Chains A and B, each alone.
Chain A
Amino acid sequence: MNELTAGFWDAARRHELVVQRCDACGVLRHYPQYLCPQCRSDAWSWTPIEGRGIVYSFTVTHRAFGAAWAERVPYAVATIELDNGIRMLSDLAADDTDDVAIGARVEVWFDDVGDDVTLPRFRLVRPE
């Protein structure tokens, strides 16, 4: 985390999903960058977005590549394509591992993993 990205994590702590929006041309961007790749403006603001979209692709990981994940295997990791076109990566809920599919609807939830760290995570949208 640095001065460019801190706002994303600050918003997550407030249970808000934000991305950068160019003040000059209005284009949304993620991951955070200093300049707008569309118009090169350095003026931007964090803008709240809807945390809903689809699974663009995914993998179910069966081997723990870090000690912290040993309890989670097998777990699904997905590329999320939000309805506004922004892509994010998230693991999915344990219940989702068997049901994940490309095109499946997902929604964000906010996981307070520590006193001052919140991860925006995604899960499959289940029928009511």
Chain B
Amino acid sequence: MSASSLRDACAIVGVANTAYTRGTEQSTLQLHLEASVGALADAGIAPSEVDAVMPHDLGDRCAEEFMVNLGLTDLTFSSTMHTGGASFGSAVQSACLAVAAGIANVVLIPFGRRGFSEQRVSTSTAKMMPALYSIQEFEKPYGSLVGVQWFAQAAQRHMYEYGTTSEQFGQVAVACRKHANLNPNAVMYSRPMTLEDHQASKMISSPLRMFDCSLESDGAGAVVITSAARARDCAKPPVYISGLGEGHGNPPTSITQKREMTFIEGLHSAGQRAYAMAGVTPADIDCAQLYDGFTWFVLGALEALGFCGKGESGPFVERGCIELGGELPVNTHGGLLSEGHVSGINHAIEAVRQLRREVEPARQVEHCETVLVSNEGDMHEGSVLILHR
């Protein structure tokens, strides 16, 4: 089986999400189950047909919980990814491999955390992945404790190398907020933000301000993946997975150890693999849902994925290219910055809904046929999906 044989071999047939909130009475498992039941209903697939579950590491979930609650009597496949923010796209890759190999038929992928009620980054209660052991021993004692500090150094270096400005980071935040204001499920719906608001927001860790940071929110989403053949009998038209890829940063110890701190090489290699599998180029992408833990991630992703050259992402966003109506609309749901931090599954859900024409008309991308979804982890690892209708 060559990588290109996965092109259009599988499809996303069901998606659903809970409300995204700041505060919830529900457990993380309840949120995952609500999204899972919803995604299966959206697909028109009976829960009994699910034979694979990919539980979310950072959501602290295991497959057995889904078996007992959804009444699944057996699973042929289950695995959990441990690549932080890149885990969702990697889970899709494993799901597609399992389906294409004939191991699994219907794969359920529920993702999400209680990033407000339980695991808060701002109070250091977020889960620290085992892979971050070098950071624990050699960086935390020096007061570099959380992601905003790690990525601030990459953003700072990008400013130094290319003349990128805080206002350009701000353009990303403003674009995401503008889109969130067209999305009633966004946490920041009906809370507009201007570039002046961004510039006036508190400095957290220079150059990153409060409005450069993604939201702390509660919520979950789920997607259902099956073979292209089975997909044709589902409730809605399939969204085909035409390309996917995973890549890892080198060395995967800490961002401080990257020879080139401003180039997200794992995301770049993931993108190259996904483009090659799908047989498309960046010019073929109608909109992109880019993992946006911080505004910097979007600039880094635009360069790593070839939407612009190295160092050109600042001027690119300043020209309005990433807003609806622009050259490459990005995060049409509002992203992690303004819709909710749902570990990147919300980017894939938005991509599916754009392709199905299910979003509010004001944020529907015209002639949307091909969408790229990127996920990114703490050590430059990345995963990329290219979806089409």
Is A43's beta carbon under 8 Å from chain B? no
In the complex where A59-B205, A61-B205 touch, is A119 in contact with B145 (Cβ < 8 A)?
Answer: no
Q: How large is the interface on B (under 10, 10 to 19, 20 to 34, 35 or more residues)?
A: 20 to 34
Q: Report the separation of the CA atoms of residues A31 and B257 in the bound assembly, to the nearest whole angstrom.
A: 9
Question: Contacts of A5 on B, CB cut-off 8 Å?
Answer: 137
A-B contact count (CB 8 A): 90
Task: Contact check, B138 vs A75: say whether CB atoms are below 8 A apart.
Answer: no
Is B139's beta carbon under 8 Å from chain A? yes
Task: Contact check, B139 vs A89: say whether CB atoms are below 8 A apart.
Answer: yes
Question: Contacts of A31 on B, CB cut-off 8 Å?
Answer: 134, 137-138, 253-254, 257
Task: Contact check, A77 vs B138: say whether CB atoms are below 8 A apart.
Answer: no
Which residue of B is nearest A5, CB measured?
A: B137
Is A127's beta carbon under 8 Å from chain B? no
Task: Contact check, A63 vs B204: say whether CB atoms are below 8 A apart.
Answer: yes
Q: Which of B111-119, B146-154, B333-341, B381-389 touches A? A: B146-154
The one of A60, A62, A66, A79 in contact with B145, judged by C-beta atoms closer than 8 angstroms, is A66
Is A26's beta carbon under 8 Å from chain B? no
Q: Report the separation of the CA atoms of residues A61 and B204 in the bound assembly, to the nearest whole angstrom.
A: 6
Is A102's beta carbon under 8 Å from chain B? yes
Task: Contact check, A65 vs B149: say whether CB atoms are below 8 A apart.
Answer: yes
Which residue of A is nearest B262, CB measured?
A: A57
Task: Contact check, A91 vs B153: say whether CB atoms are below 8 A apart.
Answer: no
Task: Contact check, B143 vs A62: say whether CB atoms are below 8 A apart.
Answer: no
CB distance from B146 to the nearest CB of A (A): 5
Task: Contact check, B139 vs A60: say whether CB atoms are below 8 A apart.
Answer: no
Task: Contact check, A59 vs B251: say whether CB atoms are below 8 A apart.
Answer: no
Is A15's beta carbon under 8 Å from chain B? no
CB distance from A116 to the nearest CB of B (A): 14
Binary B-proximity of A86-97 (CB < 8 A = 1, otherwise 0): 011111000000
Binary A-proximity of B138-178 (CB < 8 A = 1, otherwise 0): 11011111100100111011001000000000000000000
Task: Contact check, B124 vs A59: say whether CB atoms are below 8 A apart.
Answer: no
Task: Contact check, A62 vs B157: say whether CB atoms are below 8 A apart.
Answer: no
Question: Contacts of B156 on A, CB cut-off 8 Å?
Answer: 57-59, 102
In the complex where A57-B153, A79-B153, A79-B256 touch, is A90 in contact with B142 (Cβ < 8 A)?
Answer: yes
| Most-contacted residue by chain A among B142, B145, B208 (CB, 10 A) | B142
Is A40's beta carbon under 8 Å from chain B? no
Task: Contact check, B202 vs A56: say whether CB atoms are below 8 A apart.
Answer: no
Is B19's beta carbon under 8 Å from chain A? no
Binary A-proximity of B284-296 (CB < 8 A = 1, otherwise 0): 0000000000000
CB distance from B182 to the nearest CB of A (A): 31
Task: Contact check, A66 vs B160: say whether CB atoms are below 8 A apart.
Answer: no
Question: Contacts of B139 on A, CB cut-off 8 Å?
Answer: 89
Is A48's beta carbon under 8 Å from chain B? no
Q: Report the separation of the CA atoms of residues A63 and B122 in the bound assembly, to the nearest whole angstrom.
A: 9
CB distance from B265 to the nearest CB of A (A): 16
Is B41's beta carbon under 8 Å from chain A? no
The one of B123, B145, B153, B261 in contact with A69, judged by C-beta atoms closer than 8 angstroms, is B145
Question: Contacts of B154 on A, CB cut-off 8 Å?
Answer: 57
Is B206's beta carbon under 8 Å from chain A? yes
CB distance from A99 to the nearest CB of B (A): 14
Task: Contact check, A77 vs B149: say whether CB atoms are below 8 A apart.
Answer: yes
Leading 10 A-B pairs by shortest Cβ distance: A59-B152, A57-B157, A31-B134, A57-B153, A65-B145, A79-B256, A61-B205, A60-B206, A91-B142, A89-B139
Q: Which positions in B face A, CB cutoff 8 Å?
A: 122-124, 134, 137-139, 141-146, 149, 152-154, 156-157, 160, 202-208, 251, 253-254, 256-257, 261
Q: List 18 A-B contacts (CB under 8 A).
A: A57-B153, A59-B205, A60-B206, A61-B204, A61-B206, A62-B202, A62-B206, A63-B204, A69-B145, A75-B143, A77-B143, A78-B153, A79-B256, A91-B142, A91-B143, A102-B156, A102-B160, A121-B142
Please name 20 further chain A to chain B contacts, defined as beta carbons within 8 Å, in addition to the given A56-B261, A58-B153, A66-B124, sorted by A numbering.
Answer: A1-B137, A31-B257, A57-B154, A58-B156, A59-B208, A63-B204, A63-B205, A65-B122, A65-B149, A66-B143, A68-B143, A72-B143, A75-B143, A77-B143, A87-B256, A88-B138, A88-B256, A89-B138, A90-B142, A121-B142
